Each structure stands twice: as C-alpha cells, then as structure tokens.
Structure 1
C-alpha cells in the first residue's frame, strides 16, 4: 500500500507510462515527476512485463521464511490449545518455545482467543455478519415458566416457590434479531404453534420496516415443526418475499445472534430481579427492548447500539 507521502500512486504510474510512450526520455519524465530514474525504469519494466496489473502494489510478504516454526511443531501447539485450552505461557515450556512464538502461531491459526473456539471440541467457530440490514433475520423461541401471584422461587425461595408454581404453565418469548445491526424484536405468547409463529413473523417484519429495513431477504430459524412444516409460516414468508432457512440440527451456533440475544434477555430482563407476578415481568419487556435497541452498547458494533447501526447503513439499501 502506498504511504501518504508517496510520489507515485497507481494513477501516477499510469501517467509515467503514458509520458514515456509518447516518445519522451525516461530520465526527463522522472525529473518532472520528482522520482529517480531507477524508480521510473522499474515501473516501465513492470508495465512491459505485466501490463496494467504491474502498476499495482505487490505484497511485501516474503516468498520464503526459512526460520518459521516447522509445521509439525505448529500442529502440536494447536493440538495443546484445542485439547487442553492452554495459553502461550504454559504451552511454551512444554514444547521448548518462547511464549511470544506460541502466541504468533496461535494467531496465525486463529486460536489466540478461546472465545473464538467451541469449548467442548476446540473447533474454530467461523463467525460471520451480513453486509446489509434485512439480508438475514434470526428467529427463535425461548420458553420461560410463568410466575405465580406473589412470586416464584426467586422471590420466596426454592422450597416455598415449588408449591406455588405448579400448573402455572409457560410463556413463549418469540424473538427476531437482524443479523447486520442486532436490532431485536420480541413478543410473549402462550404457545409456539404455527399460527402464532406466522403472525409473529408478519409483525416482526412490520417492526423492522418501521425502523427503515424495508426488505427482508432471508429468515433463519431452528428446526421447530412450525417453521419446518407449517403452511402458515411458509405463506407469511412468501408474503414478505423472504426465503426460509433452517439451521443444522443440534448446531445453535448457526443461529448464534438470536441465541446470544436470548442469554441477554434472561440476564437483563427475565432474571434481572424477582418479579411478584407474571404480568409484572411481561410489562418490563418493552423497557428492556427499548434499552437494548437504543442505549445498550455492543462490542460487535464498535460500542454502538443497534439503532445507530441501522441509521448509518439502512439508507444505503432502501
């Protein structure tokens, strides 16, 4: 890459070639452009050998690295990292390597952060983020036990709460998260039947549309029967002009953005404090969603809340 004070950019190199091809001496053109004759001849030589491609910057990476750690040693470093979750300071003495070398090896293989690996297997998790708002929406349902009047076990204690919560049933929190911006929408329903899921999809799309995401291209869900076989859900997707996608069985990482939202939902809303009634917890959901979308910073968004990301990018794709 050219530095900010470079005499020649790609445009300048083209200009050099054009002036020399017009019949002028290379030395005269070099003097006019403030570069040496050696540099001018170098770019002319590259242009004659490679054409237009020769005028672009080449990688500064060396063709060979004689002192690079052997591949079998790198494999042992990666194996210890994935099987025992050891850091550079502990892997180094085992293999007789400096900790700095181990760290470079782990960085080269994208193993230097444990959060980037699947903890049980040590497999590197391939993370992704769609480029456009509305390109992909993650949808999932979280099942929560209803709270009896007077509070459940979090308010009364485990033993006292066990008797009061019997036969209370469950709330089903349906959530949709925009892949690009993390903008989220949730509703609480008494079930996860086909008609309920289809209606939720329609209302979620209306919510995203009101925030400037006018087109939804794909909707990613797990393999729940309502989304896999439900005709009403298929009709709702067809009405939105969106394709329905399913995750691989037993692979929640694929739908990871809404799975991470569910964890935030539990920590910052459902289990934030002891609620005395189920209606009290239900009423608190709207405040949580407003805080999540408008005020809560996200490290994946550079410290911005989801609405800021939507406002910065949605207008480019409407």
Structure 2
C-alpha cells in the first residue's frame, strides 16, 4: 500500500508508465499530466519496462549494506546475556559498554521475548491460555498463612515480637510453647471469567479439600456456571481417592499440573497474591479474628467491582446473567 504522502496510487503509477512506454509520451508531458516530477515519471516508466505491472508496488527502503551495523560477535554477546542473565538493554549496555538503544535494537532484531513474558525460574516464554466459556476449567489452589497472635504480629509489634511468634508457631520441642498455627486459604477460580470463590479453613486434609470443593461447586452452579474440568497441583489431598470420588459424583474431570510446574496453575497463584496484598496484608491487624472478619468483603469486591487488567473489567462481566452484579 502506498505511503500517506504518495502522489500516485499503484493504479496511477501504472497509467503513467503505460503513457510513457506504450503510448510513447514524452516524460515531461506525462509528468505534467499526472502532476509529478519528470524524475518520478522516469522511475515508474523504468520499473514498468523491467518488472511490468508488478513493479508499481512500494519497495523496502532498507539499505542493501549497513557498514555501521553492530558486528555479529557483539550481537551474540548481547543475546547471550539476555538468555543467561535475563538482563534488559540498559544493564546489558553497561556490561558491554554499549548504548542501551543499540542493545534494544539488537534484541528487537532477534525478536527476543520481553522479560515480563519469560518465566522467572526457567527463562522460557510463558504460554498463556484461556478457555472459551465459564466452567470449562476451574483452578484450585491452597495458600498457607500464619495466624496473627492477639495483640498483633511483627507489623504492629516490631521484629522482636515477630521472631518470638515464629518460635511459637514452629516449636522445637513438643509442648514447649503454645502453637499459634496456620490458616489455609482454599480457592476455586474460573479460567475464563476469573470469578473466584475462597474460604479460610483450618487445614489442607483430603476431607477439608473435598468439602470445600463441594461448596465451591454449588456456588458456581448457583451463578449459572456448569463445571466440566478442575485443575489442581499434585498435593496429597488432590491425589486421594476421596478427591477423585467427589469429582466423579459431581461429573467433573480431574486434571493435574505437571510436577514442578506451578505456572500451569498460575491464575489461582496470582489470585492468592492479589488476595494477600489487598486483604491479608493490606492493613496491620491486631488479631486473627479482625483479619478474618474482613475476608468476605474482598471476594465480592474482586468478582463484581475490581478491574481485572487481564480481562479488561471485573470477572462478573464475563459471566452472562450473573445476579447481584451491580450490588
């Protein structure tokens, strides 16, 4: 397609060239007729003689030779640092004494993936996927949180109190200190809509996980979502016979992530990060009860009102006919 400032379209160039070559018009007369310079008229006439009508298209303006281009050995060093150290153009340029713009041009020319698109552990490009309909796949994951002692943890009492609470949480000897314990966030999240259901429970035993899944399944069904598959990691509660029997009764297909590949369940992992940032650690609570009282408010805000950057709005917008959407 001709550029925005071109005087002639491809059809106009062909008409001009045919007037000069086929009809034997003088160059100046053809240039005056099509309101271009004689030099331009000669260029299109010469291309028509050589390539015919196919020569009327724009050609690349890239030079045939680039004598000032960065040498290939230096380009290989730039790409090696990107792969091995996962550095950006500024830090690569500092190491190699090159301008950051040069390093950026090399990375773009090699079509190197952005650092944000690479897995932190393996440096492999992240493969993103999304199922087409709500309920096609539900992600389930468990997040372990230390309970807050009465009076507050280290965020309110300082590091010394936090160290003392850590010893109480994991005592070295039996019955040496009162055990504060942990809370377990069980979450079920829809792959397509990111609609989430979460509960804070006492453990991650197979009976607890199965009971949570039955309640979550009923919650999604109440929102008009029919679940066909569920994805979990390889935790013991999800490998139990009870878990498979529960899903067989519910008519749900069980899927597992690959070992040592938590990225497959990344949507649930990311939800837990958001949950801890915006609920668990959003304020310095002085007791576990105070933190737990604030939990029911967050899932509603997340599902109905919080803008989700990956989907361009709240998760409820992706679920048709969802009741309570504007509450």
CA shift digits 1:252-282 (9 cap, x unpaired) = 1111000111111111111111112211111
3-state SS of paired residue (2:264): coil
Q: Which of 220, 225, 228 is matched with 2:231 structurally? A: 220
Q: What is residue 305 of structure 1 aligned with on the other side?
A: 314
Unmatched segments (≥5 aa) in structure 2: 1-59, 169-178, 323-327
Structure 1 residue 179: Cα displacement = 0.9
Residues 74, 105 of structure 1: 8 Å contact kept: no
TM-score of the pair, normalised by structure 2: 0.66
Structure 1 residues 122 and 95 mapped into 2: Cα distance closer, same or farther (>3 Å)? farther
Structure 1 residues 242 and 75 mapped into 2: Cα distance closer, same or farther (>3 Å)? farther
3-state SS of paired residue (1:138): strand
CA shift digits 1:197-224 (9 cap, x unpaired) = 01111111111122221x2111111111
Q: What is residue 199 of structure 2 aligned with on the other side?
A: 187
Rg larger in 1 or in 2? Answer: 2
1:246-261 → structure 2 map (5 Å cutoff): 246-261=256-271
Q: What is residue 47 of structure 2 aligned with on the other side?
A: none
> In 1, distance between residues paired with 2:156 and 2:115?
36
Structure 2 residue 131 is matched with structure 1 residue 133:
no
> In 1, distance between residues paired with 2:191 and 2:204?
22
Structure 1 residue 87: Cα displacement = 3.3
Structure 1 residues 164 and 296 mapped into 2: Cα distance closer, same or farther (>3 Å)? same
Structure 1 residue 76: Cα displacement = 5.9
Structure 1 residues 94 and 120 mapped into 2: Cα distance closer, same or farther (>3 Å)? farther
Structure 1 residue 305: Cα displacement = 0.8
Q: Which of 191, 197, 210 is matched with 2:222 structurally? A: 210
Structure 1 residue 160: Cα displacement = 2.3
Structure 1 residue 78: Cα displacement = 4.2
Residues 149, 180 of structure 2: 8 Å contact kept: yes
> In 1, distance between residues paired with 2:321 and 2:85?
42
Residues 152, 162 of structure 1: 8 Å contact kept: no
3-state SS of paired residue (1:143): strand
- Give the aligned length: 246
Q: What is residue 210 of structure 2 aligned with on the other side?
A: 198
Structure 1 residues 74 and 211 mapped into 2: Cα distance closer, same or farther (>3 Å)? farther
Residues 88, 115 of structure 2: 8 Å contact kept: no
Q: What is residue 22 of structure 2 aligned with on the other side?
A: none
Structure 1 residue 84: Cα displacement = 2.8
Structure 1 residue 297: Cα displacement = 1.0
Unmatched segments (≥5 aa) in structure 1: 1-61, 314-318
Structure 1 residues 308 and 75 mapped into 2: Cα distance closer, same or farther (>3 Å)? farther
Residues 79, 107 of structure 2: 8 Å contact kept: no
Structure 2 residue 147 is matched with structure 1 residue 143:
no
Q: CA RMSD in A?
A: 3.2
Residues 136, 219 of structure 1: 8 Å contact kept: yes
CA shift digits 1:36-56 (9 cap, x unpaired) = xxxxxxxxxxxxxxxxxxxxx
